[in-house]
A and B are shown apart, each in its own frame.
Chain A
């Protein structure tokens, strides 16, 4: 299976850059690895006609632990998050951001395919930004993939997700589901591309967004990987222009 041959530091799986805090609803790779990484991320809404703009930048630490060839635990910690709102009265804040704790278990597989159960909790750790009410999120879904030869894998993920507020105020519960379908192509030994159709439904509207996810993934040597990934909504209620990150990973 491709998980056995794609064993260098190059990133794998669907585009993980998300449009919801803590990347809630974004699928994770199904090939476990033990790694650490750092990812500057950015998120932007620019709406001058509404006197509204928002720029979010984070420095996100990530880590994963392969418990077996099928199971991985992973975590993301926004060590620093800067959130700037451009409005009639602009404001900004900074501090620690959100924390994600997740797991992936490839529960079925063949020579060319795999099915994984994945889930993630997003914890309300942005303590200086969420002053009183803070979001707690959970996604659980299925991620499937099929390889065509050694260089091409198609994948799809259906990730129901749920969030609510903690902190004594209104709960504001929100349910939604993400559907990402795409392909990743290892064009060269240390370089890959991923192109996804990304959609989300029901969290903020019938169609939260539909758009594209794109990633350029490279590697140096056996362990180091560097990628640029972006999720770009093209239609739906989502207001962001894009969410993007640049990830550097070290795979043990």
Chain B
């Protein structure tokens, strides 16, 4: 009986090793008709028209497969993207005629681990008349005895792609088999929506070890992009009524329920992956309900209505949206009304529903209705009236691109306006636009001339600055009332704070081409200009973008010095540490300048997976990185991980800062620093600079500088940089922190090679506000050696805009603070008089009796105390329980004393205290959210023994 059942089902066609096999057409139960259907299938060649959109990755050699409804791209086998082991992933998927590709990558797998990814070895184009397909054959990446096959098929008129996957277990062992499609969203982009009780946009958080608890069965999943121009995507199974998987804004997985996959067993999985024009859920959800009616006979009805909103205008994502939930608490769809307030959406028939209207990230009203067999018109739903504010900024008397922060002026307004984008991203008050999209985003608005925004009634402060070297433009206590108009004019004056002979730069900036960013290029370039930076290094994750179209469209080419670079970002886990039990990646590394190739894979960047840093340097050089005139940068040396993918090299390598680095490679993390990987021309240590400051929220500086100091103490000299790592208008403010590069090249006659040479040589001041000019005689900070005279003096001048609290001055010698002094406070944060101070300190008061030494000078608010509780030399835990001591009680994951001197579990770092309203620190944070003032010089390297080399004092 069982045997008959086995033989009778839909058997695999392409797992037996026959290269001539053809997989059957998936989802035969589905049928779509239209008047003028068509299909296309071709390999992209240079000069072709390439699919476009914010997330478009199509390159020459990739396959375009589409029909009259959409255009999709499957990447060529030899240039895979993100987590996939080879090409063969769905990387672009846009509505035909629209430039709205919003897809990073979708690919099948049988689990989470790298060896469970598909490794295709052949890609065939299948032309069966109107039916066209791409057929891929291969094995699992880590199991050559597990054959796999996938067919992507298009037919005329259909709103998506039919997909069939076959897999068989040819190993002698049972495997865990979760046959799924991984939707790699990347973060800050699509928001997955599932119609499950209590879910919708709400999904349980999880880690690699707790993922089992995040699995749920759902009838379909939709990934909604929301920020225009966008497409939304969805998936339904053609085999099973439910899909099984987990959701996050990083990755969603939807497939067949996990099961034991015994040796010799096989599985076939057929599904339909579809798209709809525009952001929001309902477009794709409407397709899903239509599909499920065909597949499973589930009827649906169409619900429609109108939203009215006195004051302001509709058509903005956060202005109005509708969530429809059934009587069993199952959110069934989410709708963004059209600009005229009309809307419609499909919902399952024969249920009772509650429709909740949302505005500015908050639920504001609800109505109930019943969807019986006929379509339903729920009528008019009225939102609360709001006001409008016209914001303008004058910079030195002229209108210009500026970023304005809208801040509740009192606690009542904050409480009344705090909201989230569909409950998914972080809270904003007020919630003016999708958190990580274009302007307005969260509580921030890009302006260039008078710009009108809708605001809920309340009292608001408006702030802006031209980076950190201008006055603070502010208008405080603006009362916004419903259905009224207001005007706000902010005036900003440039201050003479940027040192002569310097250019400012941000060497870590992301835009929409990065997998974890969703800001349109136009908004990104506006933010470039608004930051007041001289030099921007565009550093998209894994790809390159030159922003040329946006720069031309805005006419700001003469105001920006843009260098194209890339941030190599590991996705595919691999084992490179003999003393660590799990596969890892190598953190994030920056390279500039890189040549931009609009038609090439990764747009000119190198394939950056499964490579130690030394091999990355080699590959990027082979891809066109000009090592001799460029810069390589170690980004955020310490940090966490996302889905096991380490953000940071020093964390991944597990350097023990109480011990010297090993020069001889023995496979351990401690010996990785100097290791030259196989196939590399360079060792892992062959980078130029490292980030000492990363991000506007900057408490991690304590760890980054700890690593920097650790290297300096061993005589390993690298320049330090300060970058924003901005991905949007919200999480980090572009240009804060920034580098002040002391260089002979100028904006008017810019020579990137000269500029980069100065960066490599550490002629850099990193700052979130203060300016620190330090000198020992004629010597300035940098990586050149200085032999000071016996009576030499360290001269320090500090200055800052009046809204930047200076705090204190610190002089650090060989890793220890040897001098500290308070710095003056500004008389009026809203004034135009910079705060200044200067001091001269004899070196004899700073240096040890003999030996080479290094000096770094810092200014800013006192650093928060942190301690090293795991005894590896790295500060890891703050006084989180505020009891005056730092011990195991401050560790988040400990509830009892482990009874050991060195803890296995540590952290988190303590954050600076939230400032009180209207204090200088609060005002500073109005335009530097969650940050505090800090500046650091690069080191003076003192060759006191005059031997022509710098010898570090050794590991402390």
Residues of A within 8 A of B (CB): 21, 45, 48-49, 51, 54, 83-85, 87-93, 124-127, 129-135, 163-170, 172, 174, 203-204, 237, 239
Contacts and interface: CB of A to CB of B under 8 A. Distances in A.
Contact of A168 (B11, B112, B147): B11
Q: Is the interface of A mostly helix, strand, loop or mixed?
A: loop
B113 A51 contact: yes
Contacts of A21: 262-263
A36 B238 CA distance: 47
Given A91-B258, A170-B12, 13 more contacts: A54-B173, A87-B111, A88-B111, A89-B176, A126-B262, A131-B267, A132-B11, A134-B2, A167-B3, A167-B266, A168-B12, A169-B12, A170-B266
Contact of A130 (B116, B172, B262): B262
The 8 residue pairs across chains A and B that have the minimum distance between CB atoms: A168-B11, A167-B6, A165-B264, A169-B266, A87-B176, A204-B172, A91-B258, A88-B112
B230 to A, nearest CB: 30
B15 A170 contact: yes
B12 A85 contact: no
Nearest to B16: A170
Interface in B235-279: 258-260, 262-268
Contact of A49 (B212, B266, B581): B581
Nearest to A83: B260
Nearest to A85: B176
A119 B258 CA distance: 36
Nearest to A49: B581
Contacts of B262: 21, 83, 126, 129-130, 134-135
Given A130-B265, A167-B7, A91 B177 contact: yes
Contacts of B2: 124-125, 127, 134
Given A135-B263, A165-B264, A91 B176 contact: yes
B866 to A, nearest CB: 32
Given A87-B176, A89-B258, A132-B265, A170 B6 contact: no
Q: How large is the interface on B (under 10, 10 to 19, 20 to 34, 35 or more residues)?
A: 35 or more
Contacts of B174: 54, 83, 85
Contacts of B3: 124, 134, 166-167
B179 to A, nearest CB: 11
Given A48-B581, A89-B111, A134 B6 contact: yes
B131 interface: no
B175 interface: yes
A158 B703 CA distance: 64
A169 B112 contact: no
A80 B906 CA distance: 45
A89 B178 contact: yes
B178 A93 contact: no
B210 to A, nearest CB: 11
Contacts of A48: 581
Contacts of A172: 168, 170, 263-264
Contact of A131 (B11, B17, B208, B259): B259
29 contacts: A21-B263, A54-B173, A83-B260, A87-B175, A88-B208, A89-B112, A89-B212, A89-B215, A90-B212, A91-B176, A91-B177, A91-B260, A93-B260, A129-B260, A130-B262, A132-B6, A133-B265, A133-B266, A135-B264, A166-B3, A167-B6, A167-B11, A168-B11, A168-B12, A169-B264, A169-B266, A170-B12, A170-B168, A174-B172
Contacts of B147: 170
A93 B259 contact: yes
How would you classify the secondary structure of chain B's contact residues: helix, strand, loop or mixed?
A: loop
Interface centre among B6, B258, B267 (most CB of A within 10 A): B6
B9 interface: yes
A83 B111 CA distance: 18
A54 B176 CA distance: 10
A83 B173 CA distance: 12
Contacts of B268: 132
Contacts of B5: 127
A126 B258 CA distance: 18
Contacts of B6: 124, 132-134, 166-168
B211 interface: yes
Nearest to B113: A88
Interface hub of B3, B7, B147, B174 (most chain A Cβ within 10 A): B174
Contacts of A90: 176, 212, 258
Contact of A169 (B11, B178, B215): B11
A193 B633 CA distance: 67
Contacts of B258: 89-91
Contacts of B267: 131-132
A231 to B, nearest CB: 16
B200 to A, nearest CB: 24
A21 B111 CA distance: 24
A134 B176 contact: no
A90 B178 CA distance: 9
Contacts of B12: 168-170
A203 B172 contact: yes
A239 B173 CA distance: 9
A55 to B, nearest CB: 11
Interface in B775-824: none
Interface in B183-223: 208, 211-212, 215
Contacts of A125: 2
A164 B176 CA distance: 21
A166 B5 CA distance: 11
A170 B113 CA distance: 24
Interface string B684-723: 0000000000000000000000000000000000000000
Given A88-B176, A90-B258, A168 B7 contact: yes
Interface string B268-297: 100000000000000000000000000000
A237 B466 CA distance: 66
Nearest to A126: B262
Nearest to A163: B264
Which residue among A89, A130, A172 has the maximum number of chain B CB atoms within 10 Å of its CB?
A89
B584 to A, nearest CB: 13
A89 B178 CA distance: 7
B168 A169 contact: yes
A84 B258 CA distance: 11
Contacts of A51: 113, 582
Contacts of A203: 172
Contact of B211 (A83, A88, A204): A88
A168 B264 CA distance: 11
A32 to B, nearest CB: 30
Contacts of B9: 132, 168
A21 B11 CA distance: 24
Interface in B1-54: 2-3, 5-7, 9, 11-12, 15-17
B264 A134 contact: yes
A135 B173 CA distance: 12
Contacts of A130: 262, 264-265
A125 B5 CA distance: 12
Contacts of B581: 48-49
Nearest to A84: B260
- Most chain B beta-carbon neighbours within 10 Å: one of A83, A92, A170: A170
Nearest to B145: A172
Nearest to B208: A88
A166 B7 CA distance: 8
A203 B264 CA distance: 13
Nearest to B268: A132
B669 to A, nearest CB: 17
